Chain A
Amino acid sequence: MQSRELVIIGAGPAGLSAAVEARRLGIKDVLVIDREPEPGGILKQCIHTGFGLHVFNEELTGPEYAERFIREAENLGVEIMLDTMVIELSADKRIVAVNNREGLMEIQAKAIILAMGCRERTRGAINIPGFRPAGIFTAGTAQRFVNIEGYMPGREIVILGSGDIGLIMARRLTLEGAKVKCVVEIMPYSNGLTRNIVQCLEDYDIPLLLKHTVVNIHGRKRVEGVTIAEVDENMKPIMSTAKFVPCDTLLLSVGLIPENELSRMAEITIDEATGGPVVNQRMETSVPGIFACGNVLHVHDLVDYVTREAELAARGAASYLADGGKKYEYVPVSTGSGLRYVLPQRINADAMTDSRQNFFMRSVRPMNKARLIIESEKGVIKSKAMRHVKPSEMISIQLGRDEVIGIKMLRFSLQEEGDGVERDG
């Protein structure tokens, strides 16, 4: 059994940012563990640009963004153990990890930061009928095949779901000479960032079929085509609109799920709305001394927010290591109408590590004009007008310590405001 001060699980942008911040704060013994042979997490395969606008004021590619943190971590003496999978985690902060050099390792940590990222929702999760031939990939798997392994998953492609990875892959595969026939989205709006719709679909004349879904997959051995159909208001397919689209590949970009198997082993409380741990103002989970950040906590669309959140988690871990796990009372942060979730889910103003606290949230549906309302038990404490709100684009707002000190509860809600403009859905 080895003893370590801070162990970070995952060397994606969350884990690396947390490691760098932890070292800067003077934590001497920082170990980052990742199962991949290279650090960088999902960014390794995101060779498109669009990373780092907020953190670096530059448009970097994923690998470039990761590289800055990898170099910084190395300079600061962070130990990164690669090709090593954490297979067990317990509430008393014991980790079991395995690799093919050291074999099975047991590690006792004083504090842990979870940064395991997320996985993609699969066909099973959305129950597409039909055969189960070769040629069905999640968009991220296809991205890995193309950008890392150098292989093409298909020539004629239909993409189900308009999540960002799917949109990015539509462009990538087109540039590689494949034909992307269409992107099919069941909702009346896209689930991707607006800039991705424009730059990845519209610029390449790839049709985006809203309110449509795949109702059947054809082909015994390899995909030969899919049947797509329009859906009604209840998202039930209208079979009279069904049509066959020949293709050899179906890519799925139907959502990401925070990867919390280890968190569950440690009996960390999970928020059903985010799919990640319930955390407090310093990104600490329900188990004292275990923190979480990045996609394992909630799915992010911008890596810059991941970095900010990870730095907060690192400050949290530093303060935990300093105060030795002092017990705090928390006020609940609840999600009112118009929002899918708000994070952190509970706070203690006295124990805030920063003078201002970031709150992250997502809307339940697109709204052209809306008002974000923040209430305490005494009434509205803040409200903010917002434009072009979309579920796919995370909302972030800060509250100062002075605004939350002494309150007993916080509730966030989002109210749509009429603007005379007609809306779809």
Chain B
Amino acid sequence: MADVVIIGGGVVGCMIARELSRYQLKIVLLEKEDDVASGTSKANSAIIHAGYDAKPGTLKAKLNVRGNPLFDKICSELDVPFKRIGSLVVALTDEELKALDELLERGKINGVPGLEIINRERLFKMEPNINKEAKAALYAPTAGIICPYELTIALAENACQNGVEIRLNSPVVDIKVENERMLSVITPGEIIHTRYVVNAAGLFADEISKMAGAEEYSITPRKGEYLIFDRRFGGIVSKVIFPTPTKISKGILVCPTVDGNFFIGPNSNDVQEKDDVAVTQKGIEEIVNGARRLVPDLPMRHVIASFAGLRAVSNTDDFVIEASKKVKGFVNVGGIQSPGLSSAPAIAEMVIEILKEEGLELKVKSDYNPERPQIFKFRHLSSEEKKELIRQKPAYGRVICRCETVTEGEIIDAIRRPVGARSLDAVKRRTRAGMGRCQGGFCSPRVVEILARELGISPLEVTKCGYGSEILKGRTKEFIETGGVAGAK
């Protein structure tokens, strides 16, 4: 029995869960993967957009502009790094110059503060590595960067601290409705009775809506691919650098990350399958060519990883955030493509308003705590703090990931915290172990060992990202005894 079931542990589901945890409610969040932030929320451009891009009047425009200023407070409460570094839309041709004026106008209508068009001189002073052909740029000082999975995990942890039950490895397989009213949500392991369901299932929100017999819409995946570079070159740009946008996307950008690396991407290609996050040769070429228009001299030898994310594009072309008219108590939060991350705080506010209108009683909890307990990141501490921490907890003196200087203490903490890490990728997203230039070459055997020890399982059971992604295939000698590969399988 729950008051509200939230389906999907992306940034949207977790933001809603945390907002709802202020109230005296029993809330269950269901996520099909072995960790939150396993869908689109882990692979995107990580920008808190200023809000000039979306068409005036749309939910995208409204919620982005409302969401952006909320990040400072949320991130300080959750101890999540957020840098308001500003963004630049660069015009390379006269035509693009005109487009800048339109963007500026649109931004003003949307209510974006501080926008201005800056000339070449100022532009090159800000960004010396940019294409010398640049004519001018639209400067948006309120744009920021964040780590989207770190935010999502922090939201989940804080929601959990405030009583939300987060169930991982729990795919929703059916939804029961009685008398046009929500009855229960079914996963392979349980049936949860509930009067309210929030559908925040990202790419799969259309299928969940259909499962409930609510409004039909369709979501198509649109892939965006990225290359990420060694931190040594992180200073190549200091702000988010956009090209002048086209109708379908904001274009391929060059952008710093909060962790000091920089990335190029994304392109934009429709794909068939909702789990097709494969990086393609063509895609890599596309983004390299695109990014070179902005920053011609890219350190291509220092790419450390590539990845892809899928935009959940709805056929309505705007966010779908509304109570179902067919199924009472069912709320759709679908089609949350860009700027979904930037809008997430405002989406959560809106969803709570909708639930209230739908009759959910909201009584404020007296013991709600918006703050996540401090998390020690060894590499960010001063010498004195490091000394003190190791004195108290010696595990913080053992460096496991050498590229990102992550200690055993941080990894143990990531496993033991609420919504704790259960796989290599989950440890990586929480601590950065394995995210540096050697991509886990040195630390993955040791992280496997720590996970096995902490979880009381065999190293053979440790996975990269949940069941089916086991890292190791057996013990040495084992295959010889079973007759090698021929007999075994």
B124 at interface, CB cutoff 8 A: no
How big is the A interface, by class? 35 or more
- Within 8 Å by CB of A221, from B386, B397, B468, B485, lies B468
Chain B residues contacting A220 (CB-CB under 8 Å) are 275
A116 to B, closest residue via Cβ: B402
Chain A residues contacting B481 (CB-CB under 8 Å) are 177
Are A179 and B485 neighbours in the complex by a CB distance under 8 Å? yes
Are B399 and A127 neighbours in the complex by a CB distance under 8 Å? no
Most A-side CB within 10 Å, residue of B397, B469, B476, B479: B476
Are B469 and A221 neighbours in the complex by a CB distance under 8 Å? yes
A216 at interface, CB cutoff 8 A: yes
A61 at interface, CB cutoff 8 A: no
Are B441 and A125 neighbours in the complex by a CB distance under 8 Å? no
Chain A residues contacting B306 (CB-CB under 8 Å) are 124, 127, 129
Known pairs A122-B437, A152-B478, A155-B479. 14 more at Cβ < 8 A? A101-B397, A104-B383, A104-B387, A122-B439, A134-B470, A140-B441, A149-B449, A150-B475, A150-B476, A154-B473, A176-B476, A177-B479, A220-B275, A221-B465
Chain A residues contacting B395 (CB-CB under 8 Å) are 100
Quick one: CB contact mask for B447-488 with A, threshold 8 Å, 1 for yes? 001000000000110011111111111111111111111001
Are B304 and A153 neighbours in the complex by a CB distance under 8 Å? no
- Within 8 Å by CB of A151, from B307, B440, B442, B460, lies B460
Chain A residues contacting B168 (CB-CB under 8 Å) are none
Are B386 and A104 neighbours in the complex by a CB distance under 8 Å? yes
Chain B residues contacting A217 (CB-CB under 8 Å) are 278
Are B475 and A87 neighbours in the complex by a CB distance under 8 Å? no
Most A-side CB within 10 Å, residue of B227, B281, B463, B482: B281
B417 at interface, CB cutoff 8 A: no
A371 at interface, CB cutoff 8 A: no
B386 to A, closest residue via Cβ: A104
Quick one: CB contact mask for A128-155 with B, threshold 8 Å, 1 for yes? 0111111100101100111011111111
Are A130 and B279 neighbours in the complex by a CB distance under 8 Å? yes
Are A155 and B485 neighbours in the complex by a CB distance under 8 Å? yes
Q: A141-B441, A152-B475 are in contact. Are A100 and B466 (CB under 8 A)?
A: no
- Within 8 Å by CB of A248, from B397, B442, B473, lies B473
User: What distance in Å separates the Cβ of B411 from its nearest Cβ neighbour in chain A?
Assistant: 13
Chain B residues contacting A264 (CB-CB under 8 Å) are 232
A252 to B, closest residue via Cβ: B441
A282 at interface, CB cutoff 8 A: no
Complex Cα spacing A146 to B405, Å: 25
Complex Cα spacing A34 to B303, Å: 28
Residues of chain A at the chain B interface (Cβ within 8 Å): 35, 83, 85, 87, 96, 98-104, 106, 119-120, 122-125, 127, 129-135, 138, 140-141, 144-146, 148-156, 176-179, 215-217, 220-222, 237, 248-249, 261, 264
Interface of A is mostly: mixed
B485 to A, closest residue via Cβ: A179
Complex Cα spacing A190 to B353, Å: 65
Chain B residues contacting A103 (CB-CB under 8 Å) are 386-387, 390-391, 394, 397
Chain A residues contacting B280 (CB-CB under 8 Å) are 129
Are A134 and B439 neighbours in the complex by a CB distance under 8 Å? no
Chain B residues contacting A261 (CB-CB under 8 Å) are 403
- Within 8 Å by CB of A155, from B405, B442, B473, B477, lies B473
B277 at interface, CB cutoff 8 A: yes
B307 to A, closest residue via Cβ: A132
User: What distance in Å separates the Cβ of A264 from its nearest Cβ neighbour in chain B?
Assistant: 7
A119 to B, closest residue via Cβ: B438
Most B-side CB within 10 Å, residue of A124, A140, A146: A124
